[in-house]
């Protein structure tokens, strides 16, 4: 099994907002020293609601997967999508935005 990559105790963070399922979310990401995505946090304005808890939990699981070396595209393609191929939830929307941003800077 692949070892978990640890993040430094202090690291830069990037924050952005998105909408999914008619709800607004705030996402914060952290990266490894090499620039690879390492963690993601997702919250919405309805703290403690089912949608907030699901978003937070999915972000924790995604962060652990990233730290164990799961590629961003593997996570993206494993998540639910609608009939047009758009992400159904906030994690998918956030990962799609990050993948698009990475593709334009590459």
- What is the residue range of 91's domain? 13-105
**Per-residue confidence band for 59, with pLDDT thresholds at 50, 70 and 90:** very high
Round the CA-based radius of gyration of the chain to a whole number and report it: 14
- Whether residue 39 lies inside any domain: the answer is yes
Tens digits of residue pLDDT in 68-105 = 999 999 999 999 999 999 999 999 999 999 999 888 87
Tens digits of residue pLDDT in 9-36 = 888 899 999 999 999 999 999 999 899 9
- Whether residue 4 lies inside any domain: the answer is no
- Whether residue 99 lies inside any domain: the answer is yes
Q: Please tell me the distance from the alpha carbon of residue 73 to that of residue 66, in angstroms, as a whole number.
A: 11
Model pLDDT, residue 98: 95
**To which residue do tokens 């620039």 refer?**
35
Which backbone phi and psi does 99 adopt, to 5 degrees? Answer: -65, -40
- Whether residue 8 lies inside any domain: the answer is no
- Whether residue 6 lies inside any domain: the answer is no
Domains identified in the chain, total number: 1
């Amino acid at each position: 099994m692949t070892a978990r990559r640890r993040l430094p105790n202090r690291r830069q963070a990037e924050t952005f907002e998105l909408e999914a399922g008619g709800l607004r979310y705030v996402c914060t990401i952290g990266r490894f020293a090499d620039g690879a995505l390492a963690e993601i946090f997702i919250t919405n304005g309805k703290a403690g609601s089912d949608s907030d808890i699901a978003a937070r939990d999915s972000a924790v699981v995604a962060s652990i997967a990233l730290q164990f070396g799961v590629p961003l595209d593997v996570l993206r393609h494993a998540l639910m999508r609608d009939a047009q191929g758009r992400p159904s939830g906030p994690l998918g929307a956030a990962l799609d935005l990050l993948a698009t941003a990475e593709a334009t800077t590459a």
